[in-house]
C-alpha cells in the first residue's frame, strides 16, 4: 500500500468524528477523554503519513502551523479537524475546489499581485467587539477597499448554505492580502474566531510574517502570536487605524512592485450610488425604564441621545434631567454592561414637527459594587443569580439579596405594565445592571430574555466570582422559564 492509499484511508477515519454530536464539551468524563485520545492519535499518525509524501516537510509544516488542538467544545474541535483534513485533501488532490496542487508549489503561499486576491482585508473579531470592528470596516469600505466582514452582503451570501470552516479557511488562508485581528479576551475564548485565527496564522507562517495586523482591544495574549510583533490599539480610534492599515497595504504592494491603489483588489471602482440609510442605536436602561438610544458616544463620559416618543416618556426623561449636577446616581445598562451613573448635563431640542430629542451626558460612578459576592461559594452564587433572574429564593446559604431584587427582574419589569416583549426587554437590562451592581458576576457572556406567550425564557452564561474575596472565576450556565405575574 502506497503512502497515498494509507493517507486516503486515514482521512476516511476522520469522518465518524466529524459526524459526532456527543460529548458536547471535553470535560473529565471517560467518554470525552477517550475521544480526545483518539483525536490525538489521529493527528500524530497524520503527521507521520504526510512526512512520507514528496516534499512532505513543507506539508507537515503547514499542518503544524494550524497550532495545537484546543479541546473545549465538540464543535470547536470538529472545526479544527476540518482544517487539518483540508491539508490532507489538498495533498491528495481531492479538495472541493479542484485539482491537485502544482507539482513544485507544495501548498506554499506564493507572493502574487493584489489583483489575484479577492479581498484587500479580512477582519476577524469576537462578537463582543463587533461594534469597533464594524467602524473599521466602514472606514475601509468608504475608501473603496474590498473587505471580508461577516455582515457585508457579499459575505452573508457566500456563507449561506456552505460549510463555515471551509469558506473561512479559504478567505483567511488564501484570498486576502492582509488580515486585521481584533485581539481581546473574548476573541481568545470564542469558537469561530479560533477557526479564523488558526487559518490566518498558518498563512502568516507560510509567507514568513507580515500578513496579520493585530489590533488590541485589551491586553490579552494570543497563543502563537509573538510578543515582539507590532500592535495597533483600540484607543487610537477607528479612523487612525484605517489610515495605518492602508499605509501597510500600500507598502506591501510597493514591495511587490505594484503602484498603490491600482489593482482590482483595492481600492475598487464602483458606480456611485446613494449612501444607504443607517439605522443606529440600541436599547438602554435609564432608572427603571427602557429607551431606544439613537446614538451613544463613549469617552470619559457617556453621551446618550434619545428621541422622546410620548409626553409620558419626555416627562420621565425630564425627571432624570433634574438630577443634573447632583451626587445622585441612577441605574444605566446597555448590551451586557451595567453601572451607576451621575447626570452631568441634560439638553432638549424640539424640531419644527414637535419632536423632542433629549441628550444626556452621564458619568460612570466610582462607587464599587455592593460586594454581595465576598465570601460566597460557587453554589451559593449560582442560587443568587437564579434568584435575580427568576425570583426563586435559594433553599440554602446565608447571603440575602437587597429587597428590591429578591422577587426577580421579571417581576420588577412586569410592574411597567408593558407588553410581554417590552417586559422581557426591560427584564434583560435590569438583570445586566443588577448582576454587575451586586458583584455576582465577573463577566456576562450571554444574557437572553425573550417573551413566549405568558412566560419569559431566560438564558445566561457567564463567569461568577467565588472564593473568600471574589478572586477566582468559574463558568455558570442557566436556562429558566419564568411565568409572567398576573396583572
Q: pLDDT tens digits for 444-461?
A: 888 888 888 888 899 988
CA distances from 420 to 423, 427, 486 (A): 5, 10, 12
Q: Which residue has the higher pLDDT, 329 or 110?
A: 329
Tell me if 421 sits within 8 A of 413, measured CB to CB: no
Q: What is the mean pLDDT of the chain?
A: 78
Strand segments, DSSP code E, in 232-281 are 232-233
The backbone region for 293, taken as left when phi is positive above 0, alpha when psi lies in -120 to 50, beta otherwise, is beta
What tens digit of pLDDT does each residue of 390-425 get? 888 776 655 567 776 778 888 888 887 778 888 888
Sign of CA dihedral 231, 235, 237, 238: positive
Tell me if 487 sits within 8 A of 423, measured CB to CB: no
User: Could you tell me the residue ranges of all domains in the chain?
Assistant: 3-92, 114-255, 282-364, 378-483
Q: Which residue has the higher pLDDT, 429 or 163?
A: 429
What is the CATH topology of the domain spanning 114-255?
Rossmann fold (3.40.50)
When pLDDT is cut at 50, 70 and 90, the band that residue 112 belongs to is low
When pLDDT is cut at 50, 70 and 90, the band that residue 215 belongs to is very high
CA distances from 376 to 11, 105, 372, 384 (A): 50, 60, 8, 10
Q: Which residue has the higher pLDDT, 197 or 439?
A: 197
What per-residue confidence (pLDDT) applies to 434?
A: 86
- Residue 104, pLDDT > 80, answer no
Rounded to two decimals, the pTM is 0.43
- Please give the Cα distance from 41 to 50 (Å, whole number): 14
What nine digits make up the cell of 451? 417573551
What is the CATH topology of the domain spanning 282-364?
Phosphorylase Kinase; domain 1 (3.30.200)
Is it true that the peptide bond before 164 is cis, omega within 30 degrees of 0? no
- Please give the Cα distance from 171 to 151 (Å, whole number): 15
What is the CATH topology of the domain spanning 378-483?
Nuclear Transport Factor 2; Chain: A, (3.10.450)
Pairing of strands 441-452, 329-334: unpaired
Dihedral (Cα; 163, 166, 171, 175), 10-degree rounding:
-130
What tens digit of pLDDT does each residue of 153-207 get? 677 776 665 556 778 888 898 889 999 999 999 998 888 888 888 888 888 877 7
Amino acid at each position: 500500500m502506497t503512502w497515498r492509499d494509507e493517507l486516503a484511508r486515514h482521512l476516511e477515519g476522520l469522518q465518524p468524528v466529524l459526524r459526532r454530536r456527543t460529548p458536547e464539551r471535553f470535560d473529565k468524563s471517560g467518554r470525552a477523554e477517550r475521544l480526545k485520545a483518539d483525536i490525538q492519535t489521529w493527528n500524530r499518525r497524520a503527521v507521520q503519513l504526510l512526512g512520507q509524501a514528496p516534499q512532505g516537510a513543507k506539508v507537515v509544516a503547514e499542518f503544524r502551523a494550524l497550532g495545537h488542538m484546543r479541546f473545549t467544545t465538540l464543535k470547536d474541535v470538529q472545526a479544527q479537524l476540518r482544517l487539518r483534513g483540508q491539508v490532507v485533501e489538498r495533498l491528495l488532490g481531492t479538495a472541493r475546489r479542484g485539482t491537485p496542487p502544482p507539482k513544485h508549489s507544495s501548498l506554499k503561499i506564493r507572493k502574487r499581485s493584489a489583483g489575484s486576491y479577492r479581498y484587500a482585508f479580512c477582519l476577524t473579531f469576537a462578537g463582543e467587539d463587533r461594534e469597533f470592528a464594524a467602524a473599521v470596516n466602514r472606514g475601509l469600505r468608504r475608501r473603496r477597499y474590498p473587505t471580508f466582514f461577516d455582515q457585508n452582503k457579499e459575505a452573508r451570501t457566500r456563507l449561506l448554505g456552505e460549510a463555515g470552516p471551509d469558506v473561512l479557511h479559504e478567505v483567511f488562508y488564501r484570498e486576502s492580502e492582509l488580515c486585521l485581528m481584533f485581539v481581546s479576551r473574548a476573541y481568545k475564548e470564542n469558537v469561530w474566531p479560533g477557526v479564523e485565527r488558526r487559518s490566518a496564522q498558518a498563512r502568516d507562517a507560510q509567507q514568513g510574517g507580515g500578513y496579520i495586523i493585530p489590533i488590541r482591544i485589551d491586553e490579552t495574549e494570543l497563543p502563537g502570536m509573538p510578543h515582539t510583533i507590532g500592535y495597533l490599539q483600540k484607543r487610537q480610534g477607528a479612523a487612525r487605524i484605517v489610515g495605518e492599515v492602508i499605509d501597510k497595504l500600500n507598502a506591501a504592494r510597493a514591495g511587490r512592485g505594484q503602484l498603490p491603489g491600482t489593482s482590482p483588489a483595492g481600492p475598487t471602482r464602483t458606480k456611485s450610488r446613494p449612501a444607504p440609510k443607517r439605522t443606529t442605536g440600541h436599547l438602554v436602561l435609564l432608572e427603571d425604564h427602557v429607551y431606544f438610544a439613537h446614538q451613544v458616544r463613549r469617552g470619559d463620559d457617556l453621551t446618550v441621545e434619545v428621541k422622546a416618543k410620548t409626553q409620558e416618556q419626555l416627562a420621565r426623561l425630564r425627571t432624570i434631567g433634574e438630577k443634573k449636577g447632583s451626587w445622585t446616581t441612577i441605574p444605566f445598562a446597555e448590551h451586557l454592561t451595567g453601572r451607576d451613573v451621575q447626570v452631568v448635563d441634560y439638553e432638549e431640542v424640539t424640531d419644527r414637527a414637535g419632536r423632542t430629542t433629549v441628550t444626556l451626558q452621564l458619568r460612570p460612578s466610582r462607587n464599587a459594587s455592593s460586594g454581595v459576592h465576598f465570601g460566597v461559594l460557587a453554589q451559593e452564587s449560582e442560587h443568587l443569580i437564579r434568584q435575580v433572574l427568576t425570583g426563586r429564593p435559594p433553599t440554602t446559604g446565608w447571603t440575602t439579596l437587597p429587597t428590591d431584587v429578591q422577587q426577580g427582574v421579571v417581576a420588577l419589569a412586569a410592574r411597567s405594565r408593558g407588553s410581554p416583549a417590552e417586559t422581557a426587554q426591560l427584564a434583560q437590562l435590569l438583570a445586566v445592571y443588577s448582576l454587575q451592581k451586586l458583584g455576582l458576576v465577573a463577566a456576562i457572556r450571554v444574557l437572553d430574555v425573550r417573551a413566549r406567550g405568558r412566560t419569559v425564557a431566560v438564558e445566561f452564561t457567564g463567569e461568577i466570582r467565588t472564593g473568600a474575596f471574589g478572586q477566582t472565576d468559574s463558568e455558570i450556565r442557566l436556562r429558566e422559564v419564568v411565568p409572567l405575574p398576573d396583572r
